[in-house]
Structure 1
């Protein structure tokens, strides 16, 4: 959708088609569509199907990313802030070399809703020293950088995809806990990647992985 494959108003292909194309179960497809609805990317029309929403409806989502808004019953748990060499896919966007990798989860009660990581340039770290500290930035590092540097931070692009949970995803989101360890759990997850820029300069890359099983309406 963000890549332009589907346009606003386009109808999402039928469940059976998606099952065959991506080799997923019907439950995995239902969960993925539910997550896309929750993020405002698609909406259902009774008796007609599921359709792509206008990107302008996602403004509130962008605002949440930049200011770090959480719902009243949500909490952020910081996992780590470490200096690393940018992974290959991040280096292709942010540039090769050292950056700050930050990881955190968002929880509602004991349930992990989202696991996210960001890779922040050292230029930002020089202004927002908090990104190197082992705690969450409140507001977000993007908002702090914008305030201190006087440069506007925008989301240059957002791409959304779905994937079957990797072992790391399962560990981060607590999937499979309390279950038979030998049981095959093919959880379909929504993955959102964002690129943050000031002008034409990329200053950070983010990835959010959203857990299945939210109390979402599928209709």
Structure 2
């Protein structure tokens, strides 16, 4: 139960502020006793995933505000996994990104999530230059502390949200094979996110998951 809820929170299908189902519903869904559900919720609280509001229930926490630096990296990976930032460069937005972000130059950030030498996920984000003016760290090929979205929100005072999040599948392209270190074609899962402040799109992200990498989809 705890692993399932953590995966949904990490993927954004359970967002900050969302209320968890009541204990009775979790007991039925996962065939658990009430004590087991309480223990699972306690684990999620200890790791900063959720918090209680007296008389109201258990809610998903905004983990960007709770974790930073090395703890952030630990919080968004599983044991034995590591994040490798590969690139941060000014580029022209690809057509599919420009459809949301707008045409012209943006900051392309590239990273992978590895388990040893095996690449589990290859991710890219395309960040609007308006963000780079407020968060110059996005031009550096390293993690923003805690995230570029959180830093932009804090410095600009403009809240950042996810306008859309979609999951699809495709046969690997040459770029996918190179990014994931594959020597043959496979079907891979692809998750895309669009980040906004107000009605303005300020970033687009894409994560490509290697074959066999578990991904919870709700």
Question: Partner of 2:99 in structure 1?
Answer: 92
SS in structure 1 of the partner of residue 150 of structure 2: helix
SS in structure 1 of the partner of residue 189 of structure 2: strand
Change in Cα spacing, 1:112 to 1:65, as seen in structure 2 (3 Å) is farther
Q: Give the TM-score normalised by the residue count of structure 1.
A: 0.64
Determine whether 1:119 maps to 2:118. no
Change in Cα spacing, 1:203 to 1:213, as seen in structure 2 (3 Å) is same
Counting only pairs closer than 5 Å after superposition, residues 153-168 of structure 1 correspond to structure 2 as 153-168=160-175
Change in Cα spacing, 1:189 to 1:110, as seen in structure 2 (3 Å) is same
Alignment check: 8 A CA contact 1:116 1:209 kept? yes
What is the Cα deviation at residue 138 of structure 1? Answer: 3.0
Matches of 1:159 and 1:75 in 2, distance apart? 24
Name stretches of at least 5 consecutive residues in structure 2 with no aligned partner. Answer: 1-5, 19-48, 50-59
Alignment check: 8 A CA contact 1:62 1:155 kept? no
Size of the aligned set, in residue pairs, is 160
Q: Give the TM-score normalised by the residue count of structure 2.
A: 0.64
SS in structure 1 of the partner of residue 182 of structure 2: coil
What is the Cα deviation at residue 113 of structure 1? Answer: 1.0
Alignment check: 8 A CA contact 2:64 2:150 kept? no
1:70 to 72, 76, 79: 76
Determine whether 1:101 maps to 2:108. yes
Alignment check: 8 A CA contact 2:169 2:190 kept? yes
SS in structure 1 of the partner of residue 193 of structure 2: strand
Question: Partner of 2:187 in structure 1?
Answer: 188
| Higher relative contact order, structure no. (Cα contacts within 8 Å, ≥ 6 residues apart) | 1
